[in-house]
Homo-oligomer: A and B are copies of this chain.
Amino acid sequence: MDGSGANSASNGNVARWNPTKEQVSILEGLYGQGSRTPTADQIQRIASRLRAYEGKNVFYWFQNHKARQRQKEKELQQQHGCLGFSYLNRRCLYFHNSDAPAMAPGLVNHPAPCHSSPKGMSL
């Protein structure tokens, strides 16, 4: 592969950005320094520093990196012995009813359509 960081599709397919080792190092460095969800401004700076095509690439990098970091953490964690229900901050999830009790104790059920209709009809 080339070290240009440019993307080229040998095919006629969509080209993926292919960051060089050095670029990844920079990105990881910034991530380690606390940049988890850089602002548009920051992304633009980083992108030009990397000479990446669009800030979009940098944005995706951070999104994926963050997501996968959490993912691996989660997998490592596996379980606590005390039912990981701590994620209850998923609020009702249902589209609240005009006068629904809300907060179904039943937890995050499936998108059980407890929705009352937005305009007066049941979806």
Which residues of B have CB within 8 Å of A81?
48
A123:B84 contact, CB within 8 angstroms: no
Contact of A119 among B36, B80, B122 (CB under 8 A): B122
B47:A80 contact, CB within 8 angstroms: yes
Of A56, A81, A115, chain B has the most CB atoms within 10 Å of the CB of A56
Interface of A is mostly: loop
Which residues of B have CB within 8 Å of A103?
37, 39
Q: Please, how many angstroms separate the alpha-carbon atoms of A97 and B116 in the complex?
A: 10
Q: Mark A43-68, 1 if CB is under 8 A from B, else 0.
A: 11001100001111001000000000
* A3 CB–B CB distance under 8 Å: no
* A10 CB–B CB distance under 8 Å: no
Q: Please, how many angstroms separate the alpha-carbon atoms of A95 and B120 in the complex?
A: 9
* A41 CB–B CB distance under 8 Å: yes
Starting from the known contacts A40-B118, A53-B80, A59-B87, 4 additional A-B residue pairs (CB-CB under 8 Å) come to A40-B84, A43-B85, A54-B79, A118-B119
